[in-house]
Chain A
């Protein structure tokens, strides 16, 4: 979200919600069941269920980025080999300019920031600088 705040005047952002990584009926994560972070969902079987979870997510985190939901045929996920999480940058000519690694281990927002910084300069708004200090 900090990268979005810093570079939204230069680039567009789109978050794409894809199939769940750790639903309770598949590879369940104990960390998702702690009180504070309770995030327990079964793998959506319908688009309506996906929409509900996507809305829960944006509401909980007051998520400001533009948002899209992958359809139940998982077309976006399949086209971009996105699961469980991945970052891309598409340039003005509609071509892939940056392809991040598979999350969680190779998911690296710093690479996106570096790409944007190389093109638009190192942008850090006040809130970001403060967040980075803490």
Chain B
């Protein structure tokens, strides 16, 4: 039993270390890997929208910081390409 427990613990430990090393390599370093897990993963979603679904209407703010407009105000005339992103 002790032998089984030892092997399981070592296997799980090796798996976790390998996963962390892989993640560190992908993210750029151990600190980046930890920050990725903490700050990025909670915000990354596949989402439920799929082709054919009605596009959700949302309210947005113009660059003047005051004017509000709705996404649907920009649709219906022609196809609308949406580009989501940030500066960093």
CB of B25 to closest CB in A, whole Å: 14
Number of A-B contacts defined by CB within 8 Å:
196
Q: Mark A108-132, 1 if CB is under 8 A from B, else 0.
A: 0000100010010000000000000
Question: In the bound complex, how far is the Cα of B56 from the Cα of A93, in angstroms?
Answer: 12
Structural contact, B51 and A96, CB atoms closer than 8 A:
yes
Counting CB contacts under 8 A, is B63 at the interface? Answer: yes
Q: Which of B60, B75, B86 contacts A94 (CB 8 A)?
A: B75
Structural contact, A103 and B88, CB atoms closer than 8 A:
no
Known pairs A19-B43, A90-B75; A30 contacts B87 (CB<8 A):
no
**Residues in B neighbouring A92, C-beta threshold 8 A:** 75-79
Structural contact, B47 and A12, CB atoms closer than 8 A:
no
Structural contact, B53 and A53, CB atoms closer than 8 A:
no
**Residues in B neighbouring A32, C-beta threshold 8 A:** 88
Question: In the bound complex, how far is the Cα of B60 from the Cα of A75, in angstroms?
Answer: 9
Known pairs A12-B80, A18-B85, A96-B52; A70 contacts B63 (CB<8 A):
no
A-binding residues in B (CB < 8 A):
28, 32, 35-36, 38-40, 43-56, 58-65, 69, 71-72, 74-88
CB of B68 to closest CB in A, whole Å: 9
Known pairs A47-B65, A79-B58; A12 contacts B79 (CB<8 A):
yes
Structural contact, A98 and B51, CB atoms closer than 8 A:
yes
